[in-house]
Chain A
Amino acid sequence: MLSKRIIPCLDVKDGRTVKGINFVDLRDAGDPVELAAQYAQQGADELVFLDITATHEKRKTTIEMVKSVARQLNIPFTIGGGISSVADAEALLSAGADKVSINSAAVRNPQLIEDLAEAFGVQFVVLAVDTRQIEGKNLVHLNGGRLVTAIETETWIKDAETRGAGEILLTSMDHDGTKQGFDCTLLRKINDSINIPIIASGGAGKTADFTDVFLNANVDAALAASVFHYGEILIPELKKELKAHNIPVRLQPDRIIQ
């Protein structure tokens, strides 16, 4: 049976992980390679790196970081942030990233989805969408949520699927940071209207929130950042809990290679 995936998300800047990371046994909490390996060890099914590097020149360090991660990591990872062309994506994929996630650039230029799918296959193209409810409508937001558009979230996601997005990463800004649980109502509605995998994001605060989003929205994966970084939720315990609710998960550890 296909497992539901648990995905920690890491913010990186200039090739280093940022935001409070609270693993006790890390020698260098800013080292994305070490952090990624730690998550893989714990049983993360996949990782997402969100690159918030500001300047174009420094994005070279991102490529180097992707290479270092790919050399060490034996699970898939996605990189997003600042990708606005096929060339941007190609540099990351050649460096060993499994998927790229695009957001604002795809809204401004929807043809980018088609171009990426054509060049690399739909499975490489994750469409990230930041959504917030305004006057009863779920609207797409850009630039890390700072800019509202008039585009309805469900319409945009269905359009993106048609264009060749292989997966949707949907962040509810209304729930993000609240730790009050995922936006199951919206996630379920979107999930029912598409036929590609969907990753839930925004609102994870406790183990039960994950159980809830898998049981009630039937999403394919759930993503979170701070609850994992601060050790508030430990992945092995989370997975045990999900399994206890008959949610299919991949349990660690695998046997160690002889």
Chain B
Amino acid sequence: MIGIINYGAGNIFSLTAALDRLGLQFDMVNTEAELESYSHIIIPGVGHAGAAMQKLRATGLVEPICRLTKPVLGICVGMQLLTAHSEEGDSDLLNIIPLRTRLFDKELGIKIPHMGWNTVQHQNNLLFQGVDEFAQFYFVHSYFIEYKPIFDIASVTYGNRFSAAINRDNFYGVQFHPEKSGAAGEQLLKNFSNIT
């Protein structure tokens, strides 16, 4: 059963609706003790990364999340929280995966936010099992995670190449919204639930 970290960073109606459609059970995680009850953990998140980090700190769940050994999936800002730092509000984050979250560069002639469906080049990773080689996912964000091959499991190009998905040990993050990414997104959520 999936536990969703409930820290007030954005509404999660679409995420829970997607899990419902897939027949995946879930509930909300509010306390450290509740973390124990679930086999998988999702950290959702939209909005400002710095503000999201403050809200997460306020729950007292930062240390317990860092110690988790079960599969954890951060989505969008939830993924950015896994990194060391974001240029958004010059914020220190969880530093579970030592990467930087950076602002898109207008000088590259791109519109900000990066909004819409983009082609994701994924590696041979459990999270993307059964997902078409050139599948597209739905992105909405103004900050991106730098591309470092060691933690990258899927990359995407918008202005420059950056990480669409990252992984270190049991921690996974996706920049796009699987709950809004059609069948490919649903496959990814299902894959996550099957990771042991």
Contacts and interface: CB of A to CB of B under 8 A. Distances in A.
Given A74-B185, A74-B186, A123 B117 contact: no
B183 A220 contact: no
Contacts of B14: 70, 96, 98
A67 B13 contact: yes
Nearest to B139: A2
B115 A123 contact: yes
A71 B182 CA distance: 13
B55 interface: no
A242 interface: no
Q: Which residue among B111, B186, B187 has the maximum number of chain A CB atoms within 10 Å of its CB?
A: B111
Interface string A95-126: 11010000000000000000000001111000
Interface in A209-258: 220-221, 250, 252-258
Contacts of B141: 123
A3 B132 CA distance: 16
B33 to A, nearest CB: 27
Contact of B17 (A5, A96, A197, A220): A96
Nearest to B112: A195
B117 A196 contact: no
Interface string B137-172: 010111000000000000001100000000000000
Given A74-B18, A96-B11, A121-B46, A255 B183 contact: yes
A3 B182 contact: no
Contacts of A123: 46, 113, 115, 140-142
B128 to A, nearest CB: 12
Contacts of B114: 2
B13 A254 contact: no
A178 interface: no
A5 B117 contact: yes
A52 B186 CA distance: 32
Interface string A179-198: 00000000000000001110
Contacts of A250: 117, 136
Given A1-B119, A74-B185, A166 B113 contact: yes
A120 to B, nearest CB: 7
By secondary structure, the A interface counts as loop
Interface string A62-91: 000001001110111000000000000000
A196 B184 CA distance: 26
B48 A254 contact: no
A254 B132 contact: yes
B116 interface: yes
Contact of A196 (B22, B111, B130, B182): B111
Contacts of B158: 2
Contacts of A176: none
A174 to B, nearest CB: 26
A219 to B, nearest CB: 11
B157 A1 contact: yes
B48 A121 contact: yes
Given A1-B157, A74-B183, A121 B18 contact: no
Given A75-B138, A254-B135, A197 B118 contact: no
Contact of B190 (A75, A95, A220, A257): A257
Give the top 5 A-B pairs by smallest Cβ distance, nearest first: A254-B183, A96-B13, A3-B117, A250-B117, A250-B136
22 contacts: A1-B157, A3-B116, A3-B117, A70-B13, A70-B14, A74-B179, A74-B180, A75-B180, A75-B182, A76-B140, A98-B180, A121-B46, A167-B115, A195-B112, A196-B112, A197-B113, A197-B116, A220-B111, A254-B187, A255-B183, A257-B22, A258-B130
Interface of B: 11, 13-14, 17-18, 20-22, 46-48, 106, 111-119, 130-132, 135-136, 138, 140-142, 157-158, 177, 179-187, 190
